[in-house]
Chain A
Amino acid sequence: MHNSVCITTLSAISPIGDNLADIFEAITKAESATAAIQSFDTAHYPATVGAEARDGKGVIPSHHSQDRKELFVNRAFQNLFTDHPSAIRKYDPQNRIISIGSGIDYFDLVGYIDNPQKAWQDYCNSATTTMQALAETYDILGGVHTNVSACVASTQALGLAWRILRRDPDRVIISGGFDSMLSPLHYIGFYKLGAFSDASDLGKACKPFDKHRSGLVLGEGAAIYTLESEKNADKESILAVIAGYGSSNDAYMVTDPQPGGEMLARAALEAIGEAGITPGEIDCVHLHGTGTHKNAIAEANAMKIVFPRRYAEIPVYSMKGQIGHLIGACGAMELLGVIYSLQNQKVPVTVNYETPDPEVTLNVIKEKELSMPIRYILKLNSAFGGQNSALVVKKYE
């Protein structure tokens, strides 16, 4: 008999706000956070769009020497421990674990060029360094696991946390993700891949599943959750239950998803199977939905495999039109959308979805949120390189 794994607290710094009330309000209003980048000078850049993390004062500023993803996750931890002081501290430090997803090391290119007397390694900052420091600060002695599986990193980090807690219920795990590719070196590196949206209207730059989608927009932020077994969780604080997890690899191409979506579907079906349910019990799907042409085709085909009779009816949603693509943190940040759906019993509007694509016959919700009974949500993410991951998240009853 496995233990039930519950999400009991959360903290997020996102492109649509740094607290849950603001983030949920932005989802309801379907506001887009994609705009011209403010946190570094893009005057001569061939692209200028991004979805930068914001607080009540606007885009969160930073000096070039600051790794923005570290800035965000430090704030997220601070908020989590301030807002929920006993949620983690009720556990022995040896039973406190971090399982987090993130991206590639930050590199302070400006600092390196302006002060070349130090080695280039001195201008790097890694997710592991950040996490080790946070573990020390918050007396987390049960281990730090940092997943760097590109765009599925944080979903996989949540999946590992789920696996640990199912077997070892007396642990508490802080899980989620943090990332920012919004810095001169990483932004241009990603631009060179040719996956950026070329839309001139920056607020509508990312258009998941839309016929006129032209690419992705980078986002940034941190989203962390406290995961506990149901037996140890304060029942009043349970936000949702992670019921199943699966992962797979396309083993196809590193540049493109498997067009037929077979391995993505496999990850989804594994997660559904682990949850002990059938695809027929999934009420809606929160997809990866990057805004690229090939992603939409692959996801639509995966949906046909998972839901052969109702793939065109089951409501689907992507959060990336609103917050961009957070790469190593996207799954964790998009879990906020899942919790929103479970708590409000609504499938949100996929921001910027206007014109259906005949090749992508999915029921993408547009114009107005869809109110419906929602008990189980399937959450999918896929990575550059071919890794796929899926979570089944359940309403706590």
Chain B
Amino acid sequence: MKLRITHFKADETIPVKEFLRNKKLVKYFNKETASSIVCVAQLLRDTPLDPFTPFYYGMGTIEYQDFGLEGIAELSRDPQSRRFSSRRYIEDAMPSVSPLSQFKVLYNMPLSFVAIEHDLRGDCAVTYTNAHSLLTQAAYAPTEHPVLIGASKVYGDGSVTSGFALIAKDELPPPEQIWGMEEPIELFHYLLERNHAQ
């Protein structure tokens, strides 16, 4: 198994451009995507992958947003009542919403951009919360070769952790050992600790 975990503090610049072939893609990235790109690049630095390696990504619960919700809310308030105004929402707030914002809220974007960067075209899925789901995808992958699994988590304070592993099915932990793990990123901390213990 190859494993990599990266962490960036809230005010830290994620050096994603260093790891991108097409640097123009940065405008589409939220913190999860940028952190995932860096983590996978470091994981696969000397490991060329078969493009049909299955790839599964675990999305964590949403605790952080940076698409401008506060601005949308403020512009959508009626000036007198301070309540939601449909007219203001459309006339004032909507023009402030960037078309790129949708790329920052769709949950399959980290997987999609990592796939583009590393030309991964095989079996894939994005699971939402709970490490068990990510593990199940990997356990039932249509291959006997190692699979790529990953997860990122942006915490409420804006810091972000990513974990990725190239892992064989017989290296996956038994489901009962991770049952109840609510965040997929916890699986990678568990794998790291297990590696250290061995």
Please determine whether B133 and A144 come into contact, CB atoms closer than 8 angstroms: yes
The interface residues of chain B, by DSSP majority, are classed as mixed
> Which of A164, A188, A252 is close to B94, meaning CB atoms less than 8 Å apart?
A188
- In the bound complex, how far is the Cα of B124 from the Cα of A23, in angstroms? 31
Closest to A100 in B: B128
A105–B62 contact, CB under 8 A?
yes
Interface string of A122-159 (1 = CB under 8 A from B): 00101110000000000000011111111001001000
| Interface size of A in residues (CB-CB distance below 8 Å) | 61
Name the contact of B105 in the complex, choosing from A102, A189, A387 (C-beta under 8 A).
Answer: A189
Contact of B62 among A45, A121, A146 (CB under 8 A): A121
The answer on a CB contact under 8 Å between B84 and A104 is no
Let me know if B121 and A150 touch, CB within 8 A: no
Q: Is A43 an interface residue (CB 8 A)?
A: yes
Among the stretches B6-14, B38-46, B85-93, B190-198, the one at the interface with A is B85-93
> How many angstroms between the C-alpha atoms of A144 and B125 in the bound complex?
15
A192 touches B101 (CB 8 A): yes
In the complex, whether B164 has a CB less than 8 A from a CB of chain A is no
For residue A266, CB closer than 8 A to chain B, the reply is yes
Which one of B65, B84, B102, B137 contacts A190 once the chains associate, using CB atoms below 8 Å? B102
Cα A195 to Cα B120 in complex, Å, equals 26
| Nearest CB of chain B from residue A386's CB, rounded to whole Å | 5
Chain B 102-138 residues near chain A, CB threshold 8 A: 102-103, 105-109, 111-113, 115-116, 118-130, 132-133, 136-137
* Chain B residues with CB below 8 A from A126, complex form: 61-62, 128-129
Q: Which residues of B contact A240 (CB under 8 A)?
A: none
Name A166's closest neighbour in chain B (CB-CB): B140
Judge whether A79 is part of the interface by a CB distance below 8 angstroms. no
Distance in angstroms between the alpha carbons of A105 and B108 in the assembled complex? 13
Q: Which residue of A lies closest to B118 (CB)?
A: A251
A19-53: CB near B (< 8 Å → 1, else 0) gives 00000000000000000000001111110000000
User: Considering the chains assembled together, what is the distance between the CA atoms of A9 and B107 in angstroms?
Assistant: 30
Distance from B61 Cβ to chain A, minimum over Cβ atoms (Å): 7
A190: which B residues are within 8 A, CB to CB?
A: 102
Enumerate chain A residues within 8 angstroms of B72, measured Cβ to Cβ. Answer: 109, 185
User: Hey, which chain B residues are within 8 Å of A194, CB to CB?
Assistant: 99
Selected contact of A251 from candidates B103, B116, B140, CB within 8 Å:
B116
CB-CB nearest in chain B for A153: B126
Chain A residues whose C-beta falls within 8 Å of the C-beta of B133 in the assembled complex:
143-147
What is the minimal beta-carbon distance from A221 to any residue of chain B, in angstroms? 19
Neighbour of A113 across the interface among B84, B103, B107, CB < 8 A: B84
Give Cα distance in the complex from A220 to B195, angstroms: 45
B77 touches A150 (CB 8 A): no
Q: Does the CB pair A150–B107 fall under 8 Å?
A: yes
Assess whether A254 is in contact with B112, with CB atoms less than 8 Å apart: yes
CB closest residue in chain A, given B58 = A148
Distance between Cα atoms of A112 and B175 in the complex (Å): 38
Chain A residue, CB-CB nearest to B28:
A254
Q: Would you give the 0/1 interface string for B61-102, flagging 1 where the beta carbon is closer than 8 Å to chain A?
A: 111010001001100110000011011011100100111011
Taking CB atoms, residues of chain B closer than 8 Å to A179 are none
Q: Which of A43, A112, A150 contacts B108 (CB 8 A)?
A: A150
A163 proximal to B (CB < 8 A): yes
**B174 in the interface (beta carbon within 8 A):** no
Asked if B108 contacts A383 (CB within 8 A), the reply is yes
Is residue B51 within 8 Å, beta carbon to beta carbon, of the partner chain? yes
B73 A253 Cβ-Cβ under 8 A: no
B62 engages A124 (CB within 8 Å): yes
* B115, A109: Cβ atoms closer than 8 Å: no
Q: Which of A44, A160, A384 contacts B125 (CB 8 A)?
A: A160
Jot down 24 A-B pairs with beta carbons below 8 A, ordered by A.
A46-B90, A102-B128, A105-B62, A109-B73, A113-B77, A113-B83, A121-B62, A126-B61, A126-B62, A145-B132, A145-B136, A145-B137, A146-B133, A147-B127, A156-B125, A160-B137, A163-B140, A184-B89, A193-B102, A194-B99, A247-B124, A251-B51, A251-B120, A385-B111
Q: Which residues of B contact A (CB under 8 A)?
A: 28, 51, 55, 59, 61-63, 65, 69, 72-73, 76-77, 83-84, 86-87, 89-91, 94, 97-99, 101-103, 105-109, 111-113, 115-116, 118-130, 132-133, 136-137, 140, 142, 156, 175
Q: Which 10 pairs across A and B sit closest by C-beta, in order of nearness?
A: A385-B112, A163-B140, A44-B90, A148-B107, A113-B84, A146-B128, A145-B133, A148-B128, A192-B99, A128-B129
